[in-house]
Structure formats: structure tokens, C-alpha cells
């Protein structure tokens, strides 16, 4: 179709979007470990919740496993990387017992939440973790403390049902990737019901989650459609879809690749909001913009709501390996 026959479409592209410093660091750790030690490098759990990233790393020689006992004895010298979501204390302990060589890619901001939970426990408080059951970060945080030391709260209804042994000795932390607004509601309910409950010393929801939600909130009003690039098992991506819907986008959808877009169901749109969860690579955002350019006369407007400068260095063991642009081209384009 000639350019002039295409319908005009404004894409409001959120910034910040996509990779956060913790995800970037975790991917770098796998890439650097492959460069330094060669394949295979084992990775426990999806390093970040994104199929495209996982497949890219598999192509470089990473082997994804769910538990470290899947590593054969003859590969005990190969590194095993723990994912950015964090792991229960039992995992590094078991790895040490088997004399495995492990590299912990837990995001420093998740480690901070672990420390806050441990601090509450040391001060004699029962820990309330606000988060989603079954999410690896929640499993990792609960696994920092003995069984029974942590109670998981998912909703305000859970707060109403919660019956702690000592309501005067409670402390809370939250998952890093929750909805800022929903969490404020749950924490408010906890504080009303248990006025003595102690907050963590620092906010648990991370800067990347907060900034991406804020950007979507500001960009969504009036958007005919809002697309969030991300995986169905990515907590922060799913929260962005909810934020877009609540903030005035007519429709909001999660997409993993341009090929997932059901073009015949999109209908007439003039304004598209576009963002990406913290585990979604920029190369897919570009792919989606190009797919719209093929069908619409696209104008891209950058919607900048914050500037991020966070950068988490990799562990010392990998700092002697040079990371080039080409090494990360599979995610950055
Ligand atoms: S979303 Fe936040 S906590 Fe999770 S890896 Fe990124 S920076 Fe770290």
C-alpha cells in the first residue's frame, strides 16, 4: 500500500520501558560466564521471564534447568547461574554441598528485600510478605527464613482473614514487581488492622517497576490500544497491562512478539500506547514498531516520564571478561 493510503497512527512510546538494571545484569552474567568458562553454563530457572531471551542464551550454550540436581556429576565444574528473581537459602547451600560452582544473579534489589525480611525476623517479628503465591521471587524471599516465619498476603481479603499469633510483633516486605496502587491498598489495610506492624527500612517495590507503571499511567489516557511487550509469567509486565486499562486506555494487551498481534481484531485505532516489561528486550519493541509501520502511517512520540541511571555491576569473578555490544546484540539489536 502506498504510504499515503495508510491510516495515520501515533505511537506513544513510554520511556522508561523494558530492561531494568537487574535483568540487564543477570543476562550479562550468563553471557560473560559463557565467554569465560565456555558452554555449557547451567541456569537455574528462566534467568528472566522472557522466552526470547532464554532462547537467545540457549543458542549461545546456556542450559536451563529447574533444580540443581539436574546437573550431571561430570558437569560439576560448569558454572550454574541463579536467576534474577532470587533463590531460597537452601539452593546455594545445596550447591555448596555438591561442590558446584555457582554465580548468583539475584537482583541486588531483591537481595535488599531478603535482608529486610531477615532483619524483621531477627528483631522477633513475624514477617508478612505481600506478593503472588508461586512467583519465584516469593519462593526465594520466603526461603530466606525458617518454615512458618513468613505469611504470604495476596489481597486485602487476606489481610481481613490473617490471624497472627502476636499482632504486636509483625513486619512486612513486598515483592519488588507489584502494582504500586494495589500494594498501597494492601499495606494500608495491614496498617489499619495491625497498627504496630513495622515497615521495611526501604521501599520494596523497585524503581523499575514504579517508573514503568508511572510512564504507562501518564501515557494511557486516550489511547485506543495499549500494548505491553512481555511474557504471561512476567509479573511486572502483567501489572503494566492492568495499569494501562485502569488509567484510560480503551484496551490493553500483553504481546510477546509482533507475530502475536491479531491484526484483524485491532479495529480502527489512531493512538497506540507502547511499553515493555522489565524482562522484555528492546529488539522486540523495535520489531513491533516496524510491524505497525508496515500497516499504518506511523508517527512515534516518545513519552518520557523519568530518567534511569541505575547500573548494577556483575560479580568480581566476571569483571576480567570484556562485554562487547555484539555480545548483547541478540537483545539490544
Ligand atoms: S524488576 Fe526491579 S527487582 Fe526485578 S530485576 Fe528489575 S530492578 Fe531488580
Kindly indicate the confidence band of residue 70, based on its pLDDT and cuts at 50, 70 and 90. very high
Which CATH architecture group holds 21-107+311-332? 3-Layer(aba) Sandwich (3.40)
Give span(s): CATH 3.40.50.11270, the chain: 21-107+311-332
Q: What is the DSSP letter of 149?
A: S
Kindly indicate the confidence band of residue 2, based on its pLDDT and cuts at 50, 70 and 90. low
Output the pLDDT for position 202: 86
Region at 38 (left for phi over 0; alpha for psi -120 to 50; beta for the rest): left
- C-alpha grid cell, residue 200: 521495611
Which ligand 1 atom is at minimum distance from the Cα of 110? 3
**Alpha helices (H) along the chain:** 21-37, 51-60, 90-97, 108-122, 136-142, 156-161, 180-193, 207-219, 235-246, 282-295, 329-332
Q: Please state, in angstroms and rounded to a whole number, the distance separating the CA atoms of residues 32 and 179.
A: 33
Ligand 1 center from residue 152 Cα (angstroms):
20
Strand partners, 103: 81
Give span(s): CATH 3.40.1010.20, the chain: 3-19+207-304, 109-193
**C-beta of 176 in contact with ligand 1 (< 6 A):** yes
How many beta carbons lie within 10 A of that of residue 183, not counting itself? 19
In contact, 284 and 51? CB cutoff 8 Å? no
**C-beta of 141 in contact with ligand 1 (< 6 A):** no
**C-beta of 211 in contact with ligand 1 (< 6 A):** no
Output the pLDDT for position 1: 52
Give the pLDDT mean for 318-324.
Answer: 97
Which ligand 1 atom is at minimum distance from the Cα of 108? 8
Which ligand 1 atom is at minimum distance from the Cα of 84? 5
Ligand 1 center from residue 298 Cα (angstroms):
32
Mean pLDDT of the residues in the chain: 96
The residue whose C-alpha atom lies closest to atom 8 belonging to ligand 1 is 22
Ligand 1 center from residue 238 Cα (angstroms):
14
Ligand 1 center from residue 195 Cα (angstroms):
29
Q: pLDDT per residue over 253-272, tens digit each?
A: 999 999 999 999 998 999 99
The residue whose C-alpha atom lies closest to atom 7 belonging to ligand 1 is 22
Ligand 1 center from residue 266 Cα (angstroms):
32
Ligand 1 center from residue 9 Cα (angstroms):
32
Q: pLDDT per residue over 154-172, tens digit each?
A: 999 999 999 999 999 999 9
- C-alpha grid cell, residue 193: 488492622
pLDDT beyond 90 at 47: no
pLDDT beyond 80 at 213: yes
Which CATH architecture group holds 3-19+207-304? 3-Layer(aba) Sandwich (3.40)
Region at 99 (left for phi over 0; alpha for psi -120 to 50; beta for the rest): left
Pairing of strands 225-229, 252-255: parallel
Which sign, positive or negative, has the C-alpha torsion 281, 282, 286, 288? positive
**C-beta of 204 in contact with ligand 1 (< 6 A):** no
Pairing of strands 252-255, 170-174: unpaired
Give the pLDDT mean for 129-135.
Answer: 96
The set of catalytic residues is 137
Which ligand 1 atom is at minimum distance from the Cα of 22? 5
Q: Please state, in angstroms and rounded to a whole number, the distance separating the CA atoms of residues 148 and 53.
A: 35
The residue whose C-alpha atom lies closest to atom 5 belonging to ligand 1 is 22
What DSSP line would sit under 172-216, residue for residue? EEE-TTS-HHHHHHHHHHHHHH-TTPBPPSS-SS-HHHHHHHHHH
Probe target for ligand 1 pocket from 209, 239, 310, with the most ligand atoms within 8 Å of CB? 209
Q: Please state, in angstroms and rounded to a whole number, the distance separating the CA atoms of residues 319 and 314.
A: 7
Q: At what angle do helices 180-193 and 207-219 cross, to 10 degrees?
A: 120
Instruction: Write the CB contacts of 108 (distance below 8 Å, at least 6 apart in sequence).
Output: 22, 312
Probe target for ligand 1 pocket from 53, 180, 278, with the most ligand atoms within 8 Å of CB? 278
Kindly indicate the confidence band of residue 3, based on its pLDDT and cuts at 50, 70 and 90. low
Ligand 1 center from residue 265 Cα (angstroms):
33
**C-beta of 26 in contact with ligand 1 (< 6 A):** no
Residue 142's nearest CA partner among 93, 92, 89 is 89
Residue 126's nearest CA partner among 163, 172, 162 is 172
- Maximum CA pair distance of the chain? 71
Q: What is the DSSP letter of 59?
A: H
Q: Please state, in angstroms and rounded to a whole number, the distance separating the CA atoms of residues 49 and 45.
A: 9
Which ligand 1 atom is at minimum distance from the Cα of 26? 5
- 109-193 adopts what CATH topology? Cobalt-precorrin-4 Transmethylase; domain 1 (3.40.1010)
Amino acid at each position: 500500500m502506498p504510504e499515503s493510503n495508510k491510516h495515520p497512527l501515533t505511537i506513544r512510546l513510554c520511556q522508561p520501558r523494558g530492561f531494568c538494571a537487574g535483568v540487564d545484569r543477570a543476562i550479562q552474567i550468563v553471557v560473560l560466564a559463557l565467554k569465560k568458562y565456555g558452554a555449557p553454563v547451567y541456569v537455574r530457572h528462566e534467568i528472566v521471564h522472557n522466552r526470547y531471551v532464554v532462547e537467545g542464551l540457549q543458542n549461545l550454550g546456556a542450559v536451563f534447568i529447574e533444580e540443581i540436581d539436574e546437573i550431571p556429576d561430570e558437569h560439576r565444574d560448569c558454572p550454574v547461574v541463579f536467576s534474577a528473581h532470587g533463590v531460597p537459602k537452601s539452593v546455594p547451600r545445596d550447591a555448596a554441598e555438591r561442590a558446584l560452582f555457582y554465580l548468583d544473579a539475584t537482583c541486588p534489589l531483591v537481595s535488599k528485600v531478603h535482608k529486610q525480611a531477615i532483619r524483621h525476623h531477627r528483631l522477633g517479628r513475624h514477617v508478612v510478605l505481600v506478593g503472588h503465591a508461586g512467583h519465584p521471587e516469593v519462593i526465594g524471599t520466603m526461603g530466606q527464613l525458617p518454615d512458618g516465619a513468613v505469611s504470604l498476603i495476596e489481597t486485602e481479603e487476606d489481610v481481613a482473614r490473617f490471624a497472627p499469633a502476636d499482632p504486636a510483633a509483625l513486619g512486612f516486605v513486598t515483592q519488588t514487581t507489584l502494582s504500586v496502587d494495589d500494594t498501597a491498598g494492601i499495606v494500608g489495610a495491614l496498617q489499619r488492622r495491625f497498627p504496630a506492624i513495622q515497615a521495611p527500612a526501604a521501599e520494596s517495590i523497585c524503581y523499575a517497576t514504579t517508573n514503568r507503571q508511572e510512564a504507562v499511567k501518564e501515557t494511557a489516557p486516550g489511547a485506543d490500544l495499549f500494548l505491553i511487550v512481555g511474557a504471561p509469567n512476567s509479573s511486572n509486565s502483567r501489572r503494566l497491562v492492568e495499569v494501562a486499562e485502569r488509567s484510560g486506555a480503551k484496551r490493553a494487551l500483553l504481546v510477546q512478539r509482533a507475530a502475536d498481534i491479531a491484526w484483524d481484531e485491532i479495529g480502527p485505532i489512531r493512538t497506540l500506547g507502547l511499553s515493555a516489561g522489565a524482562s522484555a528486550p528492546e529488539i522486540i519493541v523495535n520489531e513491533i514498531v516496524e510491524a505497525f509501520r508496515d500497516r499504518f502511517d506511523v508517527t512515534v512520540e516518545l513519552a518520557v516520564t523519568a530518567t534511569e541511571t541505575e547500573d548494577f555491576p556483575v560479580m568480581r569473578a566476571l569483571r576480567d571478561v570484556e562485554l562487547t555490544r555484539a555480545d548483547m546484540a541478540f537483545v539490544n539489536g
